[in-house]
Amino acid sequence: MEADEHDHDSTFGGDRESLASSSTSLRSAVTKFQFENGRRYHGYQAGKHYFPNDEKEMERQDIEHQNQILQMDGKLFLAPLVEKPTDILDLGTGTGIWCIDMADAYPDCQILGTDLSPIQPGWVPPNCQFQIDDFDHDWTFGSNRFDMIQHRFLVGSVKDFGELYKRAFDALKPGGTLQGVEIQWGIFCDDESLPEDAALRQWTRSMEDAFGKIGASPPLAEHYEGWMRETGFENVHMHIFKRPMNDWPKDSRMKEIGRYCCLNWLEGVEGFTMAPFTRILGWSPEEVQVFLAKVRKESVTRRIHAYMKGIAVWGTKPLHPQF
């Protein structure tokens, strides 16, 4: 990407009673959120996901959704899809905004979104449903059911992508498609405008250190391709998006994407950072906030030509899979 020459900074049991008791306990676990350092986190499978689920994070997820559509030239997905799909699954659906848009676009298709948090709206299209579920546990969807399965922005919350892809492969119909849309954690720069001692580079190193300590090192882009091929998917493709940290690019489209990315980052960086840094690295909340002040300052500096990498990868289950 070419930088804009105007580099001034941006501004921005079996019986009924046992069953009822079990259902009540599960409902309580699902809806009883955890609160930590001023942020709200999921209660079901508490501690598994390191990012919050409060109103601020929900707003950020919807901003990210619009940004992703912009990066995909107005499309909800890039993978091939049969002309008349009947069932589509979205893993880690968050606010459910992608499912809702897909349900509107494909009214004759059943769209199912799963997540650890019950934060999706109640008023949705009749062909859209949400389910509280942990995709790292055994799936109960059955085999050969879905025309498409998608995962978006799950880095840091997936125990084993290879195992996840095996489950998706089984649940897809022959000819069905798996699409992953993820962020490659890290801040990149193609020139010398981001010093090695910059807070943004320290953030990258610290996040890698944190998730490495718990055995969840963020995957590189090529890992997704490899997992898909190893699972048995064919016609595997990958597209890399550059996500400018602000509106520093000269190109008008990339400048607009940069504005969305900047807003998304500024709204989300505390949520991305707080739990990994405090729970895993042992930082105090105050230390995190002081550090993030430096990160935010660099993030809006247009003289720094930094960006993140977005990844879209997809593959098709063969019509005659070899089991």
Question: pLDDT by residue (tens digit) across 106-137?
Answer: 999 999 999 988 879 889 999 999 999 989 88
Mean model confidence pLDDT for the chain: 89
Amino acid at 38: G
pTM for the structure as a whole: 0.87
Range of the domain at 71: 23-316
7, part of any domain? no
3 state SS of 294: helix
CB 108 within 8 A of CB 88: no
Terminal-residue alpha carbon distance, the chain: 44
89, part of any domain? yes
* Phi and psi at residue 274, to the nearest 5°: -55, -55
11, part of any domain? no
CA 124 to chain centre: 21
**Average pLDDT value for residue range 219-239:** 92
13, part of any domain? no
96, part of any domain? yes
DSSP 43: S
Q: What is the CATH number of the domain that holds 300?
A: 3.40.50.150
Count how many domains the chain has: 1
Burial class, 228, CB count within 10 angstroms (exposed 0-12 / middle 13-18 / buried 19+): buried
**Average pLDDT value for residue range 226-236:** 96
